Amino acid sequence: MKKIMSIMLFAVMAILQATAQEGPTMGWSSWNTFDLNISESIIKGQAAYMVSKGLAAVGYDHINIDDGYFGGRDAETGQLKIHPTRFPNGLQPVVDYIHGKGLKAGIYSDGGYNTCGSYHGGDKTGEGVGLYEHDQQDCDMFFKDLGFDFIKVDFCGGDPVHNKDKLDLDEKARYTAIAKAIKNTGRTDVRMNICRWAYPGTWADDAGFSWRTTGDINPSWGSVKGILAENLYMSAYCSKGHYNDMDMLEVGVEKWGNKLTTEEAKTHFGMWCIMNSPLLIGCDINSLSTTNLNLLKNKDLIALNQDTLYQQAYLAAKVNDCYVMVKDIEKHYGNKRAFAIYNPNDAQKTVTLKFKDIDLADSVALHDCFTKKDIGKFFETYEVKIPAHGTKIYVAEADTRLERTRYEAETGYSKAYSEIEWNVCQYSEASYCSGGYKVGYIGGSNTNNYLEWRGVYSKEGGDYKLSIGYICGESRSINVYVNGKKVKNLSCNSGGWEKVGKKIVNITLEQGENTIRLVNTSGWMPDIDYIDVTPVVPTGIDELKASAAKEHNTYDLQGRKVNASKAHGIVISEKGKKIMK
């Protein structure tokens, strides 16, 4: 009996471990508020507040020590030393204290010899303390001896612009070697955050749990808006255990006379949630106002961040200069989705969202994630005023899920994509493009430098029309591949570099998920705005209804054309409006 109980307990523990927080890392980090001036009592204090303020209970489980704890390196043994006055008892009591609170402990280092603090903060104790040439020794100390659970690895020491020796190291080689050293410790649960201040490349999937995509955040609207602008197109690079890190939270932080307004803090936190960024609180937890504490504890928003589909919301549409970001939650291609309408502008905007743009139809029930209230059922459209710098975030549950037709270029993936390499594709803002961005520099002589959309979902499979919105001021070609098979070579010229042209190809999709790839292996490809994927013959009731709506006709649930008064269930009236019967 005892044995069976313990086997059952073991099984339950294994399930809990497997399901426990595989989403983006949540917790607190010392940098945004305390800079290099950290200490044993500060770190322990924040761990205690994390629990006492109820933040641990909603998922914030990491206490991360950032730059500032270093105390040089022993010249003979190479052993890393800890700052003698900031941490007079070393790091062990700090890690134990954090663990004792039921939390995980995080540490910080650099891929080169010298830390960022040693260069930008003039902190001499940060020289020669990076991981370079000490990968295994330091990883053994951090993860085997001290028991840390997380590491952020910065890169000032490897980037000639940020270190005094002008040392220039290869990011992929360094982070891959560090990942290996972590693995060699025997620990399989350690999360590495790659801090190279730009999307480093798809190789990062094999090395890190998350990676910074931008320079350092600060508590100003310009900073938050800028980081969002650089991440709205990153959804294809997020998957389970692989997250785009938009940097630590500035909610509740005041620095250099700057702080976010209530509306801006909501946008910042809400967008970090729906875009699956790590959520690392950056303020002094004890000083949080009730409003900010409640914002950080908003379970509806946190649930979007930790959703078990592990998706980053993607850009579905730009409406009245606001961005509509959407993602599936709980079930792939199901009727429940989360979406945000983000207004980066300095003026209030009225947005009329067409549910069709987020692949939902018929009756759509909306739940407001900020007010935590169900706000009602809506048909076809939803009109809302979004304040300047504001964001609304909803969970939508619809009667009908439509197949997605619009795939913006900014939701496409390229194996070659990197923000630290030259001659690979670039996502850039383009006001004349539908989502507000285009992807350029695709192709060249690099076979990995394609643009592709995975998960092009067809309920039934069959014949589709693929329309490609492209920009090209000269003649260039696009090779179209569907599920790995070449379908067509298109010769394109849209007549200008700010002019969107359209090419149409007939393709066949398999039932379920498909991949559409655009590439040119012999020269540069045109820039891409979007692709549209539409069934040639409406395949189901949803599509019939959608086309019926367009034609202002009336169809019943079987897709037969009928008189509105005779139809059963949901019908489309003569005016193209849906009515419930």
Positions marked active-site: 154, 216
- Cβ 32 to ligand GAL shortest distance, Å: 8
Q: What is the per-residue binding string for ligand GAL in 62-91, x denoting contact by CB under 6 A?
A: ----xx------------------------
For ligand GAL, the closer CB: 116 or 471: 116
For ligand GAL, the closer CB: 249 or 303: 249
- Cβ 113 to ligand GAL shortest distance, Å: 14
For ligand GAL, the closer CB: 213 or 520: 213
- Find out whether 271 and 250 touch, Cβ atoms under 8 Å: no
Please list every residue from 117 through 146 that binds ligand GAL, using CB under 6 A: 117
d(CA 360, CA 339): 11
For residue 107, count other CB atoms closer than 10 A to its CB.
23
**How many chain residues bind ligand GAL (CB under 6 A)?**
10
* CA 254 and chain centroid, separation: 25
Closest of 463, 469, 539 to residue 504, by C-alpha = 469
Alpha helices in 163-298 (DSSP H): 171-184, 221-229, 262-274, 290-296
For ligand GAL, the closer CB: 124 or 560: 124
- Cβ 117 to ligand GAL shortest distance, Å: 4
Please list every residue from 290 through 319 that binds ligand GAL, using CB under 6 A: none
466: left (phi over 0), alpha (psi -120 to 50) or beta: beta
Q: Considering only residues 103, 131, 153, 156, which one is a binding residue for ligand GAL as defined by CB under 6 A?
A: 156
Alpha helices in 518-560 (DSSP H): 541-551
For residue 574, count other CB atoms closer than 10 A to its CB.
10
The residues, ordered by sequence, that sit 6+ positions from 560 with a Cβ below 8 Å of its Cβ are none
Closest of 210, 112, 108 to residue 156, by C-alpha = 112
For ligand GAL, the closer CB: 195 or 572: 195
For ligand GAL, the closer CB: 260 or 572: 260
For ligand GAL, the closer CB: 278 or 469: 278
- Cβ 250 to ligand GAL shortest distance, Å: 12
| 216 near ligand GAL, judged by CB under 6 A | yes
* CA 92 and chain centroid, separation: 33
| 171 near ligand GAL, judged by CB under 6 A | no
The residues, ordered by sequence, that sit 6+ positions from 328 with a Cβ below 8 Å of its Cβ are 309, 311, 334, 336, 337
d(CA 467, CA 480): 11
d(CA 428, CA 501): 18
For residue 28, count other CB atoms closer than 10 A to its CB.
29
| 532 near ligand GAL, judged by CB under 6 A | no
Q: Where do we find the tokens 């998922």?
A: 59
| 342 near ligand GAL, judged by CB under 6 A | no
- Cβ 207 to ligand GAL shortest distance, Å: 17
Q: What is the per-residue binding string for ligand GAL in 12-51, x denoting contact by CB under 6 A?
A: -------------------x--------------------
Q: Which residues bind ligand GAL (CB under 6 A)?
A: 31, 66-67, 116-117, 154, 156, 195, 197, 216
